[in-house]
């Protein structure tokens, strides 16, 4: 019996390109780190924390996400967070992950930048032992000002060989990409690739700004591109990857339910779509949970899922040798 389309999609090797490491903090780890660091979380237990994950929009999520990050204090905390994620990703046949971190969430609490980066890179080293390769992407918080981003970039400079790219996240509405035009010009002068969250809650015009002003190589989310045919046509023409996060979009009410998601319209238009988990501890699951939810709604065939995996490799920053090896591994699963 050949694998069903769902079995195939879960089993196929793939890359995850839109994942916030702070968004992988599961309640059990949050309480374990709180105990380890002598911190009292504002929730009685894991069940109470879980019950707080009833979001109405992006901001309602971000408020909880930033509050929970307070338990992350030491290098070991960041390493444990990273290795826990990479173990879960590995179980879902993720072979490569390009991972966001939000240094400002930590440095604002007095955690040194170096503590964060050293801890995360130690976790990435443990992930390599499992066979999962990874990259680190520094995200600037767009609700903060340009001066804050400049200060963060200055702190990042001694660690540039451990930072593979730069991104832009947090509250999108009212914070257009152009707010950080000069900071990202400097980032590009360092020779680092740029990505940006755009077209999640913000309008399609923010996608255009991310491309034209920041020179973003990928658009994180981008799901509102379907509202402007010219923007969607451009994304297709220029082969700009979209890192789509289906469960996130439904949980944050970008779409009322999965069947209303713009994914089929993006795919039909020929966009370079990838599937990702964003903040899996908050949105109901990791890579294969997203795949199950999408498959439940859209019943894609195996060829469509294989294309999603190929897109994830093509959109990644991995070397040609690694990408070719994963493509071969994918073909072996296609033959199953």
Give exposure, 98-128, as e/b (b: 16+ Cβ within 10 Å). bbbbbbbbbbeeebebebbbbbbbbbbebbe
Answer with the entry of Zn ion, ligand HPA, none that 200 interacts with (C-beta below 5 to 8 A by kind): ligand HPA
Write down the least CB distance from residue 55 to Zn ion, Å: 13
Q: How far is the CB of 48 from ligand HPA (least distance, A)?
A: 22
Minimal distance, residue 221 CB to ligand HPA, in Å: 7
Instruction: Compute the Cα dihedral for 171, 173, 177, 182 and give only its sign.
Output: negative
> What stretch of H or E contains 20?
strand 14-20
Write phi, then psi, for 169 (nearest 5 degrees).
-140, -165
Name the token pair of 126. 């443990």
Which residue, 248 or 288, is less far from ligand HPA as judged by CB? 248
Interface with Zn ion includes 98 (CB under 5 A)?
A: no
Instruction: Decide which of Zn ion, ligand HPA, none touches 58; Cβ closer than 5 to 8 Å per partner kind.
Output: ligand HPA
DSSP run (H or E) holding 99: strand 94-101
Check residue 278 and report its DSSP letter.
Answer: B
Contact, 81 vs 124, CB < 8 A?
no
Residues making contact with ligand HPA (CB under 6 A): 20, 23, 58, 169-170, 197, 200, 248, 278-279
Return d(Cα 200, Cα 221) in angstroms, integer. 5
Should residue 80 be labelled a site residue for Zn ion when binding is judged by CB under 5 A?
no
Work out what residue 262 binds among Zn ion, ligand HPA, none; the CB cut-off runs from 5 to 8 Å by kind. Answer: none
In the bound complex, which residue of the shown chain has the CB atom lying closest to ligand HPA? Answer: 169
Calculate the CA 134 to chain-centre distance: 12
By beta-carbon proximity to Zn ion, the closer residue of 155 and 278 is 278
Q: 201 catalytic, yes or no?
A: no
Tokens 């949050």 map to which residue?
30
| The entry of Zn ion, ligand HPA, none that residue 170 binds, CB within 5 to 8 Å by partner kind | ligand HPA
Q: Is 155 or 200 the residue whose CB approaches ligand HPA more closely?
A: 200
* Residue of 26, 98, 172, 200 marked active site: 200
278 binds Zn ion (CB under 5 A): yes
When CB distances are held under 5 to 8 angstroms depending on the partner's kind, the choice from Zn ion, ligand HPA, none that residue 250 binds is none
CB-based contacts of 144, cutoff 8 Å, min separation 6: 104, 170
Q: Which residues bind Zn ion (CB under 5 A)?
A: 278
Active site residues: 200
């Amino acid at each position: 019996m050949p694998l069903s389309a769902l079995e195939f999609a879960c089993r196929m090797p793939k890359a995850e390109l839109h994942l916030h490491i702070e968004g992988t903090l599961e309640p059990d780890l949050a309480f374990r780190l709180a105990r380890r660091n002598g911190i009292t979380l504002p929730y009685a237990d894991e069940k109470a924390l879980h019950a707080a994950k009833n979001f109405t929009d992006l901001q309602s999520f971000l408020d909880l996400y930033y509050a929970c990050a307070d338990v992350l204090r030491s290098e070991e905390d960041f390493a444990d967070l990273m290795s826990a994620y990479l173990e879960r990703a590995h179980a879902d046949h993720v072979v490569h992950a390009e991972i966001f971190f939000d240094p400002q969430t930590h440095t604002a609490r007095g955690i040194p930048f170096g503590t964060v980066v050293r801890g995360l890179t130690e976790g990435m080293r443990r992930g390599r032992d499992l066979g999962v390769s990874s990259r680190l992407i520094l995200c600037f918080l767009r609700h903060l000002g340009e001066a804050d981003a400049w200060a963060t970039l200055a702190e990042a400079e001694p660690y540039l060989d451990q930072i593979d790219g730069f991104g832009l996240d947090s509250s999108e509405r009212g914070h257009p990409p152009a707010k950080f035009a000069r900071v990202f010009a400097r980032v590009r002068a360092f020779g680092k690739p740029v990505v940006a969250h755009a077209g999640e809650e913000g309008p399609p015009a923010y996608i255009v700004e991310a491309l034209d002003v920041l020179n973003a190589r990928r658009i994180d989310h981008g799901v509102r591109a379907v509202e402007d045919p010219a923007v969607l046509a451009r994304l297709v023409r220029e082969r700009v990857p979209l890192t789509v996060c289906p469960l996130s979009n439904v949980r944050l009410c970008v779409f009322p339910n999965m069947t209303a998601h713009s994914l089929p319209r993006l795919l039909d238009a020929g966009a370079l779509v990838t599937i990702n988990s964003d903040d899996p501890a908050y949105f109901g699951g990791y890579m294969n949970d997203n795949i199950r939810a999408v498959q439940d709604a859209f019943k894609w065939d195996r060829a469509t899922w294989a294309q999603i995996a190929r897109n994830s490799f093509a959109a990644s920053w991995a070397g040609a040798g690694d990408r070719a090896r994963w493509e071969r591994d994918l073909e072996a699963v296609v033959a199953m």
